[in-house]
Structure 1
Amino acid sequence: MRPNERHAAILEIVYERKNASVEYLAERFRASHETIRRDLSRLAADGRLRKYHGGATLSEAPAEGAFNARIHEFAREKRAVARRAAALFSAGDSLFIDTGTTTLALAQELARSSGLAIITNSVSITQCLARGPGSNRVFLIGGEYRAEACENLGPLAVAQVAQFNAHDAVLTVGAIGANGLQDYALEEAEIARAMIAGAERVTVIADASKLGRSALFPVCALERVARLVVSAPPQGLLAEKLAAAGVQVLVADAAPAPRGARAER
């Protein structure tokens, strides 16, 4: 198991159990106590949990809340989608990345890469990429800061997005339906539309729970999307519409690891 995968799995356990000991996590992941302590220190530094002597518990940071809860929903699927999407990009590419739990998982994957230029309105994604072992250029879009999802929004953010051109806009949205992409928040939809306007190609990443949904604010038509990376194949009318729009659908393998597989130490 890769460290970033173990980090996500640790967060799931702490979220479900409210706290977890180093001893329990070391046994659970077949890793040394020193490895788990390093994992907890890293997650605590990122504000994802609170470390105490011998274990960790939920973070009390005000930025936690609904966004943090969504991190743990369909976490395995989001990690699989992130791994599949990260393989699409290489050195020299420039990417818009918007704020979302799936794009945060993508940033954890891209943090090991080098040579990318990434423009984002997410403070968490910026921090993740800056602390990673890879070497990428990261541009943080300014604007009004919203603590709940650690993101910058509003007219200033939209105006700053317009100052960049990128090869790809990599987006996660609230709903993917036969009528296109939609979102539940107006200001997040505005950021997504601005990124699409400045990108040569649009890649959407999502767990399958977003398929077949509809939301209040339109983002773009399916015809504007080049690739959809998703954890399960679209079905019915949506599948037909995606095919008609020429969208390349890439299904990520979200199957759990075989039981008894040895974790990385």
Structure 2
Amino acid sequence: MRPHERHEEIIRLVTRRGEVSVDQLADELEVSRETIRRDLVGLDELGRLQKFHGGAKLRSIAAMEIGGEGPFAARMAENLSAKRQIAKAAASLLSPGDSLFIDTGTTTVLFAEAIAGLSGLTVITNSTRIASLVSAGGDNKVFLIGGAFSMDASETVGSLAVEQIARFRARHAFLTVGALDGTGLLDFDEAETQIARAMIERVETVTVLADASKFNKRGIFEVAGWDHVSRLVTDAEPPANIAHAMEMAGTLAIITTQCLDSRTRSSKSKLL
């Protein structure tokens, strides 16, 4: 195996498992531990993984964004822990063979990290970050929507992107939005709103990923009413007006704090 091929295999293994030891890599790739250590140093310097004593782990896209500049990087740092929990809960909803749209957003980038180790998915996205994350993980098929490119969010938007979305049909859409209220989903960017609307029209199930800071924000552009949303994955109980609108529309709320509490109770009962 040539060095560059070995490096790509190391990245694939780290992405799939999240964390791999030097011993594991040496055994699986049939090279010396010293060779693996040199590989990890080089890949860490290139920013492709994070080396630690005895192994390597996935370098979080979120961590890199937080260290960057621009509005998207600033949003990435907001409510990061809650967004990670939302992303993990949303990832648990998928099964091999599922097809899904993923739009561009800070929480959906974390969602892409969470599904990177899964296999058998077909992902359609307008985010180059998300496409890179998912394609580097398990045995997944990724389609990157073309269109006008926005550097800050690393996304494609505009009429060409909307036209390409219309060529696909998928089972799911996993979306982020700027605001939620009693009427439904809202956003602050017209181009991103058009992308979300187009994806909603081409799927069976719409899942919205949004932390509690989005509740009752004053959005500008209407994305969709609650009757178009199957599930909301969030970190807190929605306010009464939103909860009522969701109940009337039949939208399921998946609250990560309740999921964590349930797992904690289950663990305690096993100990007892």
In the superposition, the TM-score normalised over structure 2's length comes to 0.73
**Per the alignment, do residues 32 and 231 of structure 1 end up closer, same or farther by CA in structure 2, a change over 3 Å counting?**
same
**Per the alignment, do residues 145 and 48 of structure 1 end up closer, same or farther by CA in structure 2, a change over 3 Å counting?**
farther
2:179 matched to 1:147? no
2:92 matched to 1:87? yes
Q: Percent identity?
A: 44
Unaligned runs of 5+ in 1: 5-30, 51-56, 259-265
In the TM superposition, residue 149 of structure 1 has moved relative to its aligned partner by 0.3
Q: Distance in 2 between matches of 1:216 and 1:58?
A: 29
In the TM superposition, residue 69 of structure 1 has moved relative to its aligned partner by 1.4
- Summarize the alignment of residues 1-265 of structure 1 with structure 2, pairs less than 5 Å apart: 3=18, 32-35=52-55, 38-39=56-57, 42=59, 49=64, 58-59=67-68, 64-132=69-137, 134-253=138-257
Between the two structures, name the one with larger relative contact order (CA 8 Å, sep ≥ 6).
1
Report the secondary structure of 2:121's partner residue.
Answer: strand
In the TM superposition, residue 33 of structure 1 has moved relative to its aligned partner by 3.3
**Root mean square deviation of aligned Cα:** 2.5
Q: Distance in 1 between matches of 2:62 and 2:98?
A: 29
Q: Distance in 2 between matches of 1:215 and 1:104?
A: 21
| Larger helix percent | 2
Matched residue pairs, number?
214
Listed one character per residue, the Cα deviations across residues 57-102 of structure 1 (whole Å, up to 9, x for unaligned) are 945xxxx411011111111100000110001011111101000000
Letter in 1 for 2:154: C
Letter in 2 for 1:201: T
In the superposition, the TM-score normalised over structure 1's length comes to 0.75
Q: Distance in 1 between matches of 2:235 and 2:62?
A: 27
What's the counterpart of residue 22 of structure 1? none
In the TM superposition, residue 118 of structure 1 has moved relative to its aligned partner by 0.5
Q: Give the structure with higher Rg (CA).
A: 2
In the TM superposition, residue 48 of structure 1 has moved relative to its aligned partner by 5.7
Q: Distance in 1 between matches of 2:237 and 2:224?
A: 21
Q: Which runs of 4+ in 1 moved over 2 A?
A: 31-35, 46-50
In the TM superposition, residue 49 of structure 1 has moved relative to its aligned partner by 4.0
Letter in 2 for 1:234: P
